[in-house]
Each structure stands twice: as structure tokens, then as C-alpha cells.
A and B are shown apart, each in its own frame.
Chain A
Amino acid sequence: MIDVQHVTKRYGPLTAVDDLSFRVERGEILGFLGPNGAGKTTTMRILTGYLPATEGRVQVAGFDVFEQPIEAKRRTGYLPETPPLYPEMTVDEYLQFVARIKGVPASDRQAQIGSAMERTSIADMGDRYCGRLSKGYRQRVGLAQAILHNPDVLILDEPTAGLDPRQIIETRKLITDLAGDHTVILSTHILPEVSQTCQRVVIINRGRVVAVDTPDNLTARLQGSQTLYLQVDTQGADPLPALEGVAGVLSVTVADKRDGVGGYQVESGSGDDIRRELSRTVVTNGWGLLELRPQQMSLEDIFLQLTTEDAPADTLAADAGTGDDADEANTEDRTDG
């Protein structure tokens, strides 16, 4: 649905986007992740045809953005970082205007506007002036504007920025709902957002793709092994030999220790789930099992690791473009790490 090939954007001597390539399939939600100034907004502007790329090709819904801009734009909905609202228009007037310039036929206009307002829960805001809306409502009117003409592709630049927690949850749900018949690209620098809404993540830094994968695969890939945190009350006994004896355990290190309660980091091969064995061992020894949880590398860690070190980046970038793992992400399949 979206095909980006070797796109480069230079502003004079500055390279904002450097040889970027990725594909997004129909119905997919792709998260665009990167620190501020990484080139997210520039990339999105290129995808929408707002900016021309210095080099490279972008196809949206089968149309080249540079050669057939009108056709491509007809099939694209875009929410820029600041919602493009005219303060002097009411929400109704604004959406009417947008429907016209997006080429929604007159007969469908009212119905399309109604459904867009319904989906973004602004149905009762029609008479309000855009200039007087709160940040949350501006964002939603912006979103309504983007989905109004029922585009194949939705490009959302930080759609949840400035919203309160409840609105963020609603917006995420809306985006997830939209993904069925729309292809969505959203940019963010909020990491949990990506793991909650996106099937695939493109991490970019300084204009280059650092990694493309599902959020779960990213997590798994960067971890050669799995670590569990275990807290036991052994009443003074040393649990190390017993723990090390559990099948599958590679190593046990003491994390913290006080008043007879010990915290241990238990490392195992990434494919083995040793939690049952481990808890059984603790219980049969008559100790108190206080806590047992997997220590997962969060997206934050991955993000920091990828955007600060260059070494692991190369190995991951090699996988760029394989979007077939999208489904596996939902089935918690981590065995391929």
C-alpha cells in the first residue's frame, strides 16, 4: 500500500532523511519511532506529497506521489503535528470545506462528515469554532479531517500528543479500529504507544532506518537469553545451589538481599520457560515465594540501545522490509529470537 524506496531529503548541506526504504501492507499499522529531529515529520511530509524528496520514489496506493500527486493525495489522509484548523470556521463548516477540497461527492458529503464526527466523538461539537477548541478536541477534529474522505492510507504525525490519558486511550482504540480498511502510519516518540497499537515498528535515527520489526520481535531479538527476577524468603538458607540445579537455568546472580529475603536474577535460554520448575523448587524447599517475574527489555531499552549504539543497528536493519511477521506479534511468539 505504501512503498518507500531509497528516499533521501536534503536541505542544503543537511541530510534530514537518508536513503530510507520500507513497505507497509494493506491494513497494517506501522509505528514510526525516533527521537525528536530524527526525520519522522520530514518523512511523513514526503509521503503525503507536501515535500518532494531529493532522491528516491514513494508510491501510495499504487500511485507515485511525485508523478501523480492528485491521485495519491486523493487516497491519503494526513494529520500533521499541529491540526490544520481554520480558527474562524465552526467544526461543521471546516469539515464541509475539507470534504469539498478532498473531492467527496456532494451526495456522500453529509454522511461521510457525520460518520467521521461519530468516530472521533465530536458529533456534538459541530457549532463550535475551531479556534476555541481545547487541544484534545482540536486533535480530534484534525483526525476527523484526515479520515473524512475514507482514504486508503492514513498518515498521523504524533496523533496522541497533548491529549489527556483518557483521550489517548480513545484515540489509540480509534486507530486500531481504523486499521481494518485503512493502512496507518503513525509517528510517535512515546514508546508504549507503539507496542500497544502498532503491528510493526520502524525505528529511525538521524534520518536512517535503524530497525524494522514487530515490537515483540524487537524485544526478543535484542535479548539472547531470558531473565527472571525471583524474590524468596529463605529464612537464612542459601538458595543458590538449589536454584542453579533447576533444569534450563544458565546462571543465578544475587540482585539484592535483606532480612533473609533475597532477590535473584535467574537467566535461562530464551526459548525455555522455567517459571514452573523454579517455583516448584522454591516451594518444595519450604521457602516463601514472594515474587517471580520475567525481566523484559522494554522498548525504551531497545530504543536507547539502537539510537545510541551503531553495532546492533546494522544487523537489524538487514531485516528491514520483511513485514510478514505482523501476525505473530499478536500471538506472543518469541521463539524466533
Chain B
Amino acid sequence: MGNILTLAQKELRAYFVSPIAYVLLVFFALLFGYFYVSSINFMVQLSMGQFGMGGPQIININEFMIRPLFGNTAVILLFMLPMLTMRSFAEEKRSGTIELLLTSPLTDFQIILGKFLGAMALYTLMLSLTLVHIGVLFWYGEPEWAPVLSGYLGLLLMGGSFISIGLAISSMTKNQIVAGVSTFAVLLLFWIINWMGDASGTMTQSVLAYLSILEHLDDFSKGVIDTTHVTYYVSFITLGLFLTAKSMDMARWNG
């Protein structure tokens, strides 16, 4: 356990010494802020009755603001998290520092989990920036807190899935850019995979919809913690970490 934390700490440090952490934090805050302001505008217009619904009315903040906002956040993350994980293994392999880790008394499991937790820590920090925005909503309005909490849980699980796939792909190459682009492509594929489902039969459609990585987030921001979705994300994370372990093992046998 101590080793895992040491490794996670080292990862987190590496993010902050290079510009990566700052770039991610700043642009994430910027993009989230943009979606936040535009959804506030939309909600204000809605509550003023500008869409011809018969005068001002009370709007559910959770339903009309926070839920779509979390949906948008998922898309921002889809673009940004690959940049968070792309260097993790690729850079260690390129510079040869992986030799230090693999010849130290550490298990592969510790190395992988250390990297995963390091990335998760930075991701959690990114998410925590949005607490300010959500806090303002609590100041001026009366949203329910339970769906907000479950929404954050959903985002954490979803981000964890992105990160675990990112780690797996990063462990397969020495090139950060290749790792980043491939991770992005794979995540994008998992996002849009259910679009094709519309054209095919109902069975395929439901399978593809189940596989789609963003599909599972919505219930969380509605306030529903469904075990199906939790299982999906947890399996996704486990699979990603398992693939990372397999790819480390294969790299070892193939040189």
C-alpha cells in the first residue's frame, strides 16, 4: 500500500511539474464555465417563460441545469482525459525509467494502481473546481443535493473508465501522441457506438446502447444510483487495468 501511494504521489507531482496539470485545469475550468453560463442563460430564459409556456414559472434546477451540465462535462472529459493519461507509461518506456520501476521490488499491480490513483487524484482536482459553480447554484437556488452527489459519483466512475483505458493504451506504446490519439479514438468510439444501433435491430440496439460509455452517466445525474451502471463502470475500470497488466507482461516477454 505504501508503495502504491509513493507511486501515486510521484505521478501527481509529475503532472504539476510539467505544464500538463495546469493546462488541463485551466481549460477544463474554462470549458466548464462556458457550458455553465450558457445553461444558466437557457434556464433563465426558460423560467421567464420566453418559450411560450405561459409566463414565468419555477424550473427544477437539477433537471434543467445540473443534469445537462454534467452531460456536457462528460464530453469535455472525453476530449481532455486522454491527455492526462497519454504520458503515463509511454514516457517511462521512452526515457527508460520503466527499467527502474520494473527492477525495483514492486509488483505490476502496485505500479498500475499507483499510476491510476495518481491520474485519478488530478482528475478529482479538476472536478473539484466545478464545486464552486455548483455551490453558487445552492447559494441562489434550491437544488436537491442528492442528485448532485450521485452525479459527481457518476462522473468519477466515468472518468475512472476513461483513465483506465488511457493507461492500457499508454502501456502499449513508447509514443505519447500515439497513446493520446488512440485513447481519444477509442473513447469516441465508445461514445458513439449506440448511434449505429438506431439503424439496426432492437437486440443489437440494446447491446450497443449498453456499451456506450456516456449512456450510463445520465441516471447518476438524475439521482439514481443503478447497480447496472455502477457495474458497467467498475467492470470498465477493471478491464482497463487488467489490459494494462497484460500489456506490461507482453512487453516483458517480447523485449
Contact partner of A88 (CB less than 8 A), chosen from B7, B17, B96, is: B17
Q: Which residues of A contact B95 (CB under 8 A)?
A: 82, 84-87
Q: A70-B105, A70-B107, A100-B3 are in contact. Are A84 and B100 (CB under 8 A)?
A: yes
Q: Is the Cβ of B252 less than 8 Å from the Cβ of A97?
A: no
Q: Is the Cβ of B103 less than 8 Å from the Cβ of A73?
A: yes
List 4 tightest A-B contacts by C-beta distance, closest first.
Answer: A84-B100, A88-B17, A48-B103, A73-B105
Tell yes or no: B99 within 8 A of A by CB: yes
Shortest beta-carbon distance from A116 to chain B in Å: 15
Q: Is the Cβ of B101 less than 8 Å from the Cβ of A82?
A: no
Tell me how many residue pairs across A and B have CB atoms closer than 8 Å: 72
Shortest beta-carbon distance from B102 to chain A in Å: 5
Contact partner of B97 (CB less than 8 A), chosen from A45, A71, A85, is: A85
Most chain A CB within a 10 A radius of its CB, from B96, B105, B253: B105
Interface members, chain A 231-290 (any B CB < 8 Å): none
Q: Which residues of B contact A103 (CB under 8 A)?
A: 105
Shortest beta-carbon distance from B75 to chain A in Å: 31
Q: A88-B14, A88-B18, A101-B6 are in contact. Are A76 and B103 (CB under 8 A)?
A: yes
Q: Give 27 CB contacts A-B under 8 Å.
A: A11-B255, A45-B99, A49-B102, A49-B103, A50-B99, A50-B102, A51-B252, A69-B105, A70-B105, A70-B106, A73-B103, A73-B104, A73-B105, A78-B103, A80-B99, A80-B100, A84-B97, A84-B98, A85-B95, A85-B97, A86-B10, A86-B95, A87-B95, A89-B17, A98-B100, A101-B104, A101-B105
Shortest beta-carbon distance from B80 to chain A in Å: 21
Q: Which residues of B contact A88 (CB under 8 A)?
A: 13-14, 17-18
Q: Is the Cβ of B254 less than 8 Å from the Cβ of A11?
A: yes
Shortest beta-carbon distance from A193 to chain B in Å: 22
User: Count of chain A residues with Cβ under 8 Å from any Cβ of B?
Assistant: 31
Shortest beta-carbon distance from B86 to chain A in Å: 16
- The interface bits of chain A over 76-111 (1 if a CB of B lies within 8 angstroms of the residue's CB, else 0) are 101011101111110001000110111100000000
Shortest beta-carbon distance from A312 to chain B in Å: 32
Q: Is the Cβ of B6 less than 8 Å from the Cβ of A100?
A: yes
Alpha-carbon separation in the docked complex, A82 to B13 (Å): 23
Shortest beta-carbon distance from B7 to chain A in Å: 7
- The interface bits of chain A over 16-53 (1 if a CB of B lies within 8 angstroms of the residue's CB, else 0) are 00000000000000000000000000000100111110
Alpha-carbon separation in the docked complex, A323 to B105 (Å): 29
Alpha-carbon separation in the docked complex, A78 to B14 (Å): 23
Alpha-carbon separation in the docked complex, A333 to B120 (Å): 64
Q: Is the Cβ of B96 less than 8 Å from the Cβ of A80?
A: yes
Interface members, chain B 1-33 (any A CB < 8 Å): 2-3, 6-7, 10, 13-14, 17-18
Q: Is the Cβ of B97 less than 8 Å from the Cβ of A51?
A: no
Q: Which residues of A contact B3 (CB under 8 A)?
A: 100-101
Q: Is the Cβ of B253 less than 8 Å from the Cβ of A84?
A: no
Contact partner of B100 (CB less than 8 A), chosen from A71, A76, A100, A145, is: A145
Shortest beta-carbon distance from A275 to chain B in Å: 50
Q: A88-B14, A88-B18, A97-B10 are in contact. Are A50 and B97 (CB under 8 A)?
A: no
Contact partner of A52 (CB less than 8 A), chosen from B96, B97, B104, B253, is: B253
Q: Which residues of B contact A84 (CB under 8 A)?
A: 95-100
Shortest beta-carbon distance from A297 to chain B in Å: 36
Q: Which residues of B contact A71 (CB under 8 A)?
A: 105
Shortest beta-carbon distance from A188 to chain B in Å: 19
Shortest beta-carbon distance from A121 to chain B in Å: 21
Q: Which residues of B contact A85 (CB under 8 A)?
A: 95, 97
Residue in chain A with minimal CB distance to B10? A97
Shortest beta-carbon distance from A101 to chain B in Å: 5
Shortest beta-carbon distance from B17 to chain A in Å: 4
Q: Which residues of B contact A206 (CB under 8 A)?
A: none
